[in-house]
Each structure stands twice: as C-alpha cells, then as structure tokens.
C-alpha cells in the first residue's frame, strides 16, 4: 500500500523538475562542428514565460542584444525578433537532462550544426 503513494510522490517531484518548461536563462555550452562556431553568434538567451525573449550574440569584442517573441511547440523553437532587419528563425529543439539542457539543431550552408545550451 505504501509503494503506490511513494510512486505518486516521486512522480510528482519529477514532474515539478521537468515541468519548468523552456522558460529561463540559457547559455551556450557546446557547439558542433567546432569549425562553424564563428557563424553561430548566440551566446545566451532568456526565454520568458510570457513568450518573449532577450538574446545576446557575441561578435568578437562586441555583444549585440536582440529581443522579440518565441514559441516552442512540437520540437520546434521559433524566434521572432522585434527588429525589422532580423529574420524569423525556426530550429529543431529538445529539452533534456530534467530540463537543464536545450539542444538546438539547424543547418549552416547545408551542413548540420548542433548547439547545446545549459540553463543558467
């Protein structure tokens, strides 16, 4: 009789950890292939619960901030910048590590690239 209660409590605790969703501050941790890292400038992104984001991109000694809205549905992360000169981007994205790791996949000049971001 005690096992079902314990299982329910563990399940609820796991849901609390995983259920935090994609919102939060993320920092770039890994990038593959390393040779293409110079083309992927995003160093951190903060995704708000309200569907807004703020991102920081590194350009050598200069950091540039962008902001806008995002959606995360069906394994796709779509970023819609407020700046008119920035394009809407959609990436394949997956949460793992109990919600502590965000893996983003895209193509750069036709070749696959993978960025792994860690929750800050």
> Which pLDDT score is estimated for 15?
39
**Dihedrals phi, psi of 59, to nearest 5 degrees:** -125, 85
* CATH code of the region 22-119: 2.40.128.280
Contacts (Cβ under 8 Å, ≥6 apart) of 55: 42, 44, 45, 46, 65, 66, 67, 79
**Dihedrals phi, psi of 113, to nearest 5 degrees:** -130, 150
- Quickly state the pLDDT bin for 20 (edges 50, 70, 90): low
C-alpha–C-alpha distance, residues 37 and 19, integer Å: 31
* pLDDT tens, position by position, 43-102: 899 999 999 999 998 877 788 899 999 999 999 999 999 988 888 999 999 999 999 999
pTM above 0.95, yes or no: no
Q: What is the mean pLDDT of residues 7-36?
A: 66
Token pair in block for residue 46 = 């903060």
C-alpha–C-alpha distance, residues 75 and 49, integer Å: 17
pLDDT of 13 > 50? The answer is: no
**For the chain, domain boundaries:** 22-119
């Amino acid at each position: 009789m005690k096992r079902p209660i314990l299982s329910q409590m563990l399940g609820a605790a796991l849901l609390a950890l995983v259920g935090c969703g994609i919102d939060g501050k993320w920092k770039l941790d890994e990038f593959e292939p390393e040779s293409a890292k110079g083309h992927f400038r995003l160093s951190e992104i903060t995704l708000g619960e309200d569907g807004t984001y703020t991102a920081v991109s590194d350009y050598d000694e200069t950091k540039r901030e962008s902001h806008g809205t995002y959606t995360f549905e069906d394994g796709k992360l779509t970023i819609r910048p407020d700046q008119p000169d920035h394009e809407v981007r959609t990436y394949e994205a997956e949460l793992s590590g109990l919600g502590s790791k965000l893996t983003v996949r895209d193509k750069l000049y036709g070749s696959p690239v993978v960025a792994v971001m860690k929750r800050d």
